[in-house]
A and B are shown apart, each in its own frame.
Chain A
């Protein structure tokens, strides 16, 4: 049986592209109500892992259970996924993007979206192709956080945005984090994000090489997670 305190359980997960493996017997569980950071350099397997959880890629072998389901239609309804690049069509206006999300997802909350757009200083009649990179990221995040999901998966939510946008994004994540949902966030910008995490997992060559409670690791190693990251990957 699976532990019902966990929203995600991954056992011995492997993903191969041809004869190259991106995930190599990876194990990880995520407790309900927690914000978990997946930390690792480029090419360590972060995005592959996340795409399998989001139901976009298929595993080669191993087990992946999300809220007692295998990744698929059932899990797409409860997982809200922020890809690591803009997923909206350039010709759209923000209003079109809102309509698209409303169509796609039953759990999309328009009131929440309005609130977040205001907070992000975005207007519904703005065109996507006229937005800066930071504004696009803020819009993408607005859409993803406006769903009432059980699991939010954010792939590099602050990569390449300016410090003001970064702070707005961090604020939005904290504001919209609820105790009955969980968040999985990947990042290599550990210093900026480490204070957000309950748990952290370090990923290297497709395996979790260290995981634990963030405060516990700080206490045990007498260093911040950012310094630990540099020690592991430096």
Chain B
């Protein structure tokens, strides 16, 4: 994992973990690696990783069992909402880019439909 943008490290680690939850690499109800193991893997100060975990907990994406560790939420709706949020962000950015290029909404839908058809054909 590279930390190359201008956001604080804890935000970037949080983002990385969220993507792992969305993609199912971290399963619902599954255990997160310990703070220290994550710190080692990413070569980051353990206090920073701790803060990322706390942020995820604040957003109800993970919960901590005393003495057991940190686990991904078992609430499917929370994960679904997270996934939808990420998807929306990508689409919003895509729409802005397309409109900058001069496409209107119906042009965009047509292009996407063509693209989906092509994918099916392959």
Query: Which residues of B are interface residues toward A (Cβ below 8 A)?
Result: 3-4, 6-10, 36, 39-40, 42-48, 51
In the complex the two chains form, what is the Cα distance from A222 to B7 in whole Å? 7
* A171-B42 CB under 8 A given contacts A198-B47, A215-B8: no
CB distance A196 to B43 under 8 Å? Answer: yes
Would you mind naming 27 contact pairs between A and B with Cβ atoms under 8 Å apart?
A34-B47, A35-B45, A167-B43, A171-B40, A174-B36, A174-B40, A174-B43, A174-B46, A177-B45, A177-B46, A195-B3, A195-B42, A195-B45, A196-B43, A196-B45, A198-B45, A198-B48, A214-B9, A214-B45, A215-B8, A215-B9, A215-B10, A218-B8, A218-B9, A222-B6, A223-B6, A224-B4
- Interface presence of A219 (CB below 8 A): yes
State which of B7, B8, B43, B47 has its C-beta within 8 Å of the C-beta of A171.
B43
In the complex the two chains form, what is the Cα distance from A215 to B6 in whole Å? 11
Q: Is the interface of A mostly helix, strand, loop or mixed?
A: helix
Residue from B44, B45, B51 with most neighbouring chain A CB atoms (10 Å): B45
Number of interface residues of A (CB under 8 A): 20
Measured between beta carbons, the chain B residues less than 8 angstroms from A223 are 6
CB distance B44 to A196 under 8 Å? Answer: yes
Measured between beta carbons, the chain B residues less than 8 angstroms from A214 are 9, 45
CB distance B43 to A170 under 8 Å? Answer: yes
- Give the residues from 183 to 199 in chain A that come closer than 8 angstroms, CB to CB, to chain B: 195-198
- Interface presence of A175 (CB below 8 A): yes
CB distance B48 to A215 under 8 Å? Answer: yes
CB distance B40 to A218 under 8 Å? Answer: no
Min CB gap A144→B, angstroms: 19
